[in-house]
């Protein structure tokens, strides 16, 4: 069994809009074990659409179509599906009543042109749209000597499409041979090749479940994909693999799925009822942004976002002698800054990330640390030096994650 | 003349990756006046690819293919193009030498499997790839009684593809009947419907050049699209339309293309050699992030990013009496905060954005301002009150833009 996905609209073929529906539907179909062989996008053009619809229904057992169901003359999907079946559009009274009601609720009359949205190809079935005026269309396209091809047309608006797919289309689809389920385990503090070594045969090609490694701004994500006869079977296999990953990557795993280090940190702070503040230099506020995004309990009290020259000025009150002796980017300045922020904001914990300079080497050719991070509690201040290279934005994000990870390990 | 675009790869049809190449190429083709009728994406599958390549080369005058040119067994584009022409793959010695050299430069031997990347369908032309190991392929597919279809296969890696398209494919393409050029004018401080009213007939359907309105986080962008016989003709029409827009939208236009308010602000600061700092409350650092992103000259010295409870604590040193009398979200607190930040950071200008509370109404049912912004120079402090509603993230971004716009109008 194979599926294919068609997106309709000149706004897609001209490049004015990016089609993300086809990707989303492919992932959904994979979950019920149905492989997708083709995505197609076609302009609002009668001949081109008919050619594509015919070819698709002929070669694929499932055809999912998005777009072209609006009320304007450009919206051809409805008519083309009638042409595909060789029938006419007929009015579906309940759909018309529903669309009229929707307009009335918004305090408007239904324009005459919207009547077309209540018409359906003879022999097809309307699919209700609880959130918009465009109902979907379900039909079975007869194929000689084979099962009919199942065709569903859905609105192009992603939120309407996703809801209609999940509630009304998915239940009508046959189940594929194999179910696919995915899971993610997130790690920090280890390089990609070191992680690969630790994981050993877990990442071998052909292993079941598969384990793939991706890296994004120094966060390593292990992507587990399980194939099985049921969701239950996949879940068991995924749980076993997660267990193995946690054993082999001990200490580096911090979360799952969409969890970042900031979620883990904030969860601990909430449990401990402790507050936090930050200072960061040259970062544009990476730490402040991360912690703000999870600040429902107002435990992140705020921070200083500084440029390098800003760091030497008043808000942090770093003593001039300290800067003269050690410089702004130094272990001593980092320690002072973290402790100072803790007092300035009257918080339990403070984090600091320094700016970083271009890399330099000592006489033996070893790189000299060019950035410092620090974390302060009432008992202890931890400082770490860093050698940051490469893309500045990634280096900054890495520094911010490093100090959040250090706090997770040492202070929470 | 029509074009179509094909993206190759099971990682696309499974949904693991999103195809952005087809959109990019569509926009490029529009610029030289060539309309695109189809995008297709196909899995790494011999039969499916051949069917698609044949259909495409038959119905379209230009076929742009991305992906499937790697060295592994899954990479079928090369072989399929040979099948399309009915010829064999033959070794192209200069390409082989180039690929070998590329590996040597990286200090590695070329694996045997990479030899395949130097093979090309007999009758096709190699397209050099200055940045990767996969050369492209150019061929003309003969069609009875018609011009041959021009087919270009390019790597799937977007950076390699874009470079190859611009340098080697675009010069080989015929020019379409009409050139399309686009431009953008950015406005702030006016609502969408008020802008539409001011623009009048400029936004009428069918006007040449077209003017469309889009809104993103309170920034209004006017998108001009000109159709003409040459780039010069389009440019003249665009310039005239821009002039009309600036007349009708006087005072609201701040920039063009990708320019945000932060670019305009920073340009003035650089010209005046003045410095700036910010304080913001509950925003997660929208202002600090904007100004950091354009801070090459280090004139943005830094800022305070506070939570609402953070604002009442020490760093700003707002007097307790002021908070008791007026509250944290008040005109008086905003004025104090902006002036305080200016002193704390020893800068010429300071901006402040307060947190905002859920909206409340007075006895007459009028909304009570729920947020304040302020801008301070050595001569004057401007404070504005605001009624912020709707999505908090958009409301925050709107508040940050409002104060940058106020500074642009009053202080620079």
Q: What is the pLDDT of residue A368?
A: 87
Mutate to test the interface with A, among B288, B351, B397 (most CBs of A within 10 A): B288
CA–CA distance, A383 with A402 (Å, rounded to integer): 11
Q: What is the pLDDT of residue A365?
A: 84
Average pLDDT over residues B128-149: 92
User: What's the CATH number for B3-172?
Assistant: 3.40.980.10
* Poorest-pLDDT segment among A163-172, A304-313, A321-330, B126-135: A304-313
The separation between CA A343 and the C-alpha centre of its own chain, rounded to angstroms, equals 37
- The model's confidence at residue B205, banded by pLDDT at 50, 70 and 90, is confident
Residue of B nearest to A290 (CA): B284
Smallest Cβ distance to A346: which of B277, B314, B345? Answer: B314
DSSP of A148-217: EEEEEEE-SSHHHHHHHIIIIIGGGSPP-SSEEEEEEEEE-SS-HHHHHHHHGGGG-TT-SSEEEEEEET
> Closest by alpha carbon to A26, among B15, B304, B124?
B15
Smallest Cβ distance to B12: which of A39, A288, A300? Answer: A39
Question: How close A179 gets to chain B, by Cα (Å)?
Answer: 14
DSSP SS3 for A352: strand
**B42-56 per-position pLDDT tens digit:** 999 999 999 999 999
**Residue A143 phi, psi dihedral angles, 5° rounding:** -130, 130
Smallest Cβ distance to B41: which of A17, A38, A304? Answer: A38
Do the Cβ atoms of A344 and B315 come within 8 Å?
Answer: yes
Q: Which CATH architecture has domain B179-256?
A: 2-Layer Sandwich (3.30)
Using the Cβ of A23 and the Cβ atoms of chain B, whether some distance falls under 8 Å is answered with yes
Residue of A nearest to B7 (CA): A39
Q: What is the pLDDT of residue B206?
A: 82
Percent of chain A surpassing pLDDT 90: 66
Contact residues, A window 340-359, toward B, CB-based 8 Å cutoff: 344-346
Q: What is the pLDDT of residue B71?
A: 86
> Closest by alpha carbon to B377, among B268, B255, B261?
B268
Tokens 């080989």, residue located: B172
Do the Cβ atoms of B39 and A43 come within 8 Å?
Answer: no
Reading the block at residue B345, the tokens are 């950071």
DSSP of A58-86: HH-SEEEEES--SSSTT--HHHHHHHHHT
Higher per-residue confidence, A315 vs B210 = B210
Domains of chain B by residue range = 3-172, 179-256, 261-410
Residue A117 per-residue DSSP state: G
Do the Cβ atoms of A41 and B43 come within 8 Å?
Answer: no
Average pLDDT over residues A170-181: 85
Using the Cβ of B38 and the Cβ atoms of chain A, whether some distance falls under 8 Å is answered with yes
Strands B179-187 and B253-256: antiparallel
Q: What is the pLDDT of residue A23?
A: 96
User: B12 to chain A: which residues are within 8 Å by CB?
Assistant: 23, 39
User: A26 to chain B: which residues are within 8 Å by CB?
Assistant: 13-15
Using the Cβ of B268 and the Cβ atoms of chain A, whether some distance falls under 8 Å is answered with no
* Poorest-pLDDT segment among A65-69, A143-147, B105-109, B349-353: B105-109
CB neighbours (10 Å) of residue A75? 20
Q: Compute and round to an integer the Cα radius of gyration of chain A.
A: 29
Do the Cβ atoms of B302 and A303 come within 8 Å?
Answer: no
Using the Cβ of B274 and the Cβ atoms of chain A, whether some distance falls under 8 Å is answered with no
Cβ within 8 Å of residue B330, ≥6 positions away? B372
The separation between CA A66 and the C-alpha centre of its own chain, rounded to angstroms, equals 21
- The model's confidence at residue B134, banded by pLDDT at 50, 70 and 90, is confident
Supply the pTM of this predicted model.
0.75
- Indicate the burial class of B29 (C-beta count within 10 angstroms; 0-12, 13-18, 19 or more): buried
**B325-351 per-position pLDDT tens digit:** 998 899 999 999 999 999 999 999 999
Cβ within 8 Å of residue A407, ≥6 positions away? A265, A349, A351, A375
Select from 3.40.50.720, 1.10.8.60, 3.90.950.20, 3.40.630.30 the CATH code of B261-410. 3.90.950.20
User: A298 to chain B: which residues are within 8 Å by CB?
Assistant: 307-309
Smallest Cβ distance to B302: which of A39, A43, A305? Answer: A305
Question: How close B350 gets to chain A, by Cα (Å)?
Answer: 14
Q: What is the pLDDT of residue A27?
A: 92
Do the Cβ atoms of B313 and A45 come within 8 Å?
Answer: no
Q: What is the pLDDT of residue A88?
A: 97
Average pLDDT over residues B260-275: 96
CA–CA distance, A136 with A69 (Å, rounded to integer): 8
> Closest by alpha carbon to A152, among A73, A59, A56?
A56
Q: What is the pLDDT of residue B56?
A: 96
Mutate to test the interface with B, among A315, A318, A346 (most CBs of B within 10 A): A315
- The model's confidence at residue A360, banded by pLDDT at 50, 70 and 90, is confident
- The model's confidence at residue A178, banded by pLDDT at 50, 70 and 90, is confident
> What H or E segment, with its residue span, contains residue A246?
helix A231-248
Give the ipTM of the model, two decimals please: 0.72
* Poorest-pLDDT segment among A20-29, B337-346, B355-364: B355-364
Smallest Cβ distance to A314: which of B12, B295, B346? Answer: B346
Strands B276-281 and B349-353: parallel
Question: How close A86 gets to chain B, by Cα (Å)?
Answer: 24
**B95: pLDDT strictly greater than 90:** yes
Using the Cβ of A50 and the Cβ atoms of chain B, whether some distance falls under 8 Å is answered with no
Across chain B, mean pLDDT equals: 91
Tell me the β-bridge partners of A374: A352, A383
- The model's confidence at residue B263, banded by pLDDT at 50, 70 and 90, is very high
DSSP SS3 for A374: strand
User: B344 to chain A: which residues are within 8 Å by CB?
Assistant: 314-315
- The model's confidence at residue A167, banded by pLDDT at 50, 70 and 90, is very high
CA–CA distance, A26 with A28 (Å, rounded to integer): 5
Strands B349-353 and B89-91: unpaired
User: A35 to chain B: which residues are within 8 Å by CB?
Assistant: 13-14, 43
Smallest Cβ distance to B307: which of A52, A302, A344? Answer: A302
Q: What is the pLDDT of residue B262?
A: 97
- The model's confidence at residue B218, banded by pLDDT at 50, 70 and 90, is confident
């Amino acid at each position: 069994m194979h599926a294919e996905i068609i997106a309709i609209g000149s706004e897609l073929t001209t490049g004015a809009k990016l089609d993300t529906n086809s990707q989303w539907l492919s992932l959904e179909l994979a979950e019920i074990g149905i492989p997708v062989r083709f995505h197609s996008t076609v302009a609002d053009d009668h001949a081109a659409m008919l050619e594509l619809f015919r070819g698709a229904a002929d070669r694929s057992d499932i055809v999912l179509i998005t777009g072209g169901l609006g009320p304007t003359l450009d919206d051809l999907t409805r008519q083309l599906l009638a042409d595909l079946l060789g029938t006419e559009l007929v009015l579906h009274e309940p759909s018309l009543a529903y669309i009229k009601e929707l307009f009335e609720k918004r305090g408007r009359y239904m324009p005459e042109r919207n009547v077309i949205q209540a018409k359906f190809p003879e022999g097809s079935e309307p699919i209700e749209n609880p959130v918009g005026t465009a109902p979907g269309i379900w039909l079975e396209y007869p194929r000689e000597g084979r099962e009919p091809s199942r065709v569903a047309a859905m609105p192009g608006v992603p939120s309407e499409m996703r809801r209609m797919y999940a509630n009304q289309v998915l239940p009508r689809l046959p189940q594929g041979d194999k179910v696919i389920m995915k899971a993610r385990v997130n790690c920090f503090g280890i390089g990609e090749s070191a992680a690969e070594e630790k994981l050993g045969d877990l990442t071998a090609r052909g292993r079941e479940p598969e384990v793939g490694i991706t890296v994004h701004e120094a966060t390593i994500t292990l992507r587990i994909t399980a194939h099985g006869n049921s969701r239950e079977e996949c879940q068991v296999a995924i749980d076993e693999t997660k267990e193995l990953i946690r054993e082999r990557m001990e200490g580096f795993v911090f979360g799952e799925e969409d969890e970042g280090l900031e979620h883990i940190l904030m969860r601990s702070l909430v449990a401990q009822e402790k507050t936090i503040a930050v200072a960061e230099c040259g970062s544009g506020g990476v730490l402040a942004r991360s912690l703000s995004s999870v600040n429902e309990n107002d435990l992140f009290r705020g921070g200083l976002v500084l440029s390098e020259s800003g760091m030497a000025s008043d808000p942090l009150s770093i003593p001039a002698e300290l800067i003269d002796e050690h410089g702004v980017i130094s272990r001593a300045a980092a320690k002072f800054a973290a402790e100072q922020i803790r007092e300035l904001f009257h918080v339990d914990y403070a984090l600091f990330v320094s700016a970083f300079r271009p890399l330099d080497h000592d006489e033996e050719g070893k790189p000299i640390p060019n950035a410092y991070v620090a974390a302060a509690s009432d008992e202890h201040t931890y400082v770490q030096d860093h050698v940051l290279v490469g893309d500045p934005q990634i280096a900054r994000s890495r520094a911010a994650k490093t100090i959040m990870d250090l706090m997770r390990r040492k202070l929470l």
